[in-house]
Amino acid sequence: MSSNITDTYPEYSRTAKLDTLRATQYGYLDEQDHIYLDYTGAGLAARTQFQAHRSRLDGATFGNPHSENPTSRSATDLVELARRRVLTHLNASPEDYQVIFTANATGAAKLVGEAYPFTKKTKLVLTADNHNSLNGLREYARQRGTKAKYIPMRPKDLRIDTEAVVKSLTRPRTWPWRRSSKAQKGLFVYPAQSNFSGVRHPLSWIKLAQDLGYDVLLDAAAYLPTSALDLSTVNPSFVIVSWYKVFGFPTGVGCLVARRDALAKLARPYFAGGTVTAATVAVPWHMLVSGEAAFEDGTVNYLSIPDVHVGLDWVSAVGMDTIATRVRCLTGWFIDRLLELRHSDGTRMIVMYGPVDTESRGGTVAFNFLDAEGKVVDERLVAQESSQAHISLRTGCFCNPGAGETAFGIAAGTLRRLTSHKDGTFDDFLRIAHLPTGGAIRVSFGVASTCKDVDYFISFALKTYKDRITTSDGLKPRPGC
């Protein structure tokens, strides 16, 4: 294989302006001698974003938005501007969608779960490829008698067949001449992009599910950092977002972007300051305010929410198409070089989980190293040694147990034995499940990534693991997954 990325991915040359930004706006990486490969965990912020935050706080005074005084009005105006900027970024009409600010994507998912009208007659359908923030919705469903159903993945590439989606969303035949369609309603939940494997699941599933009578909750947390989501083209009922994953700063601000008609179906089991027009104590009565304010408990993060506006302006100025092209090229280049890694006897040095090409996938790559004896290198050892080499990457199961179970071939029968184990450590779980390691290695690319980052990691991999026999002796116990 050529040592020049542009020989294989010539379009990489069109992203050269990102090299300039890496040296200036993200220059702290090179100044700190650091290789950052965890963009699925968190994006990185440009220096311009930090400067805008400082300038705004130096130039004005802001107060609690729940008032009409001057400082309150200043804060309210910037929060409302940020709401509109989110809708603009998603190409969503304010007549159709509302923006609810939350602490993160998990908080956004929880808002839907606790308020969705689950009953014994509805279904909760999830893909097996879901973050635990979405898997947790099954607890709300269970409490109200709703059954949760998971759609399986293909073990080889961790993709999901559309036929399996249709089968899970439709009621099985009860009579030879009758098939239910819209009679079986409920909530369908899936990620636009897997946080484990980088697989991009079809956005066409949204209309498919809606035509069958389902509301759709789309997890866009891993998708939005490198792709545009056009809500004028696809119309999910709910979209959840964590903004620090898109542009690094601020942390602690996410969104539930909800269609107005879908939001009207939710019945909140709780009220708080800022969510009610009025509430009484002498009699148990309250009236929720209308729209997004009914779901924003207490005071929103009004000093940080305006930074969402700044961040969206920044990535828009850089160009989502440019970011997407760079990440796709680097991902393909990285996978190509990973698959070429060999020990001296010709045996592979890695095993990959998920697609081995760039078709319908994002910039997240999951794999494990294989040592000279063919056994999986303990991910704790990789975490330790990559850190010593100033590399930030992710190890473990990434809060996505379904993808991990499929990738590592864990049978349901094995997992059922775990239900009787209420105590013990995560390592006890691994022994019961007969797993050779506690997860995988995840490398992911973003706006400030360069081909030099790939070169550095591949060099590290060859230097550290080629022809080596590894052991787990002396490693700390795993805290969990």
Q: Which residues are catalytic?
A: 399
- Cis amide prior to 355 (ω within 30 degrees): no
Q: Which whole-number Å values give the CA distances from 439 to 8, 132, 361, in the listed order?
A: 31, 15, 20
Distance (Å, whole) CA 22 – CA 144 = 50
Is 127:191 a contact under the CB 8 Å cutoff? Answer: yes
Nearest to 224 by CA among 141, 315, 145: 315
Distance (Å, whole) CA 74 – CA 151 = 47
Is 153:160 a contact under the CB 8 Å cutoff? Answer: yes
Torsion angle, alpha carbons of 357, 362, 364, 368, to 10? -20
Nearest to 181 by CA among 146, 214, 150, 145: 214
List, in sequence order, every residue forming a beta bridge with 100; answer none if it has no partner: 256
How far separated are the first and last CA of the chain, in Å rounded? 37
Residue carrying the six token digits 């779960």:
113
Q: Which whole-number Å values give the CA distances from 353 to 134, 331, 368, 456, in the listed order?
A: 21, 14, 8, 22
List, in sequence order, every residue forming a beta bridge with 238; answer none if it has no partner: 217, 258
Q: Which whole-number Å values give the CA distances from 427 to 200, 262, 401, 470, 481, in the listed order?
A: 31, 42, 15, 18, 10
Residue carrying the six token digits 């990325």:
5
The string over 227-260, giving b where at least 16 C-beta atoms fall within 10 Å of a residue's C-beta and e elsewhere, is bebebeebbbbbbbbbbbbbbbbbbebbbbbbbe
| Residue 285 CA neighbour count, 13 Å, CB half | 5
SS3 328: helix
Distance (Å, whole) CA 466 – CA 440 = 18
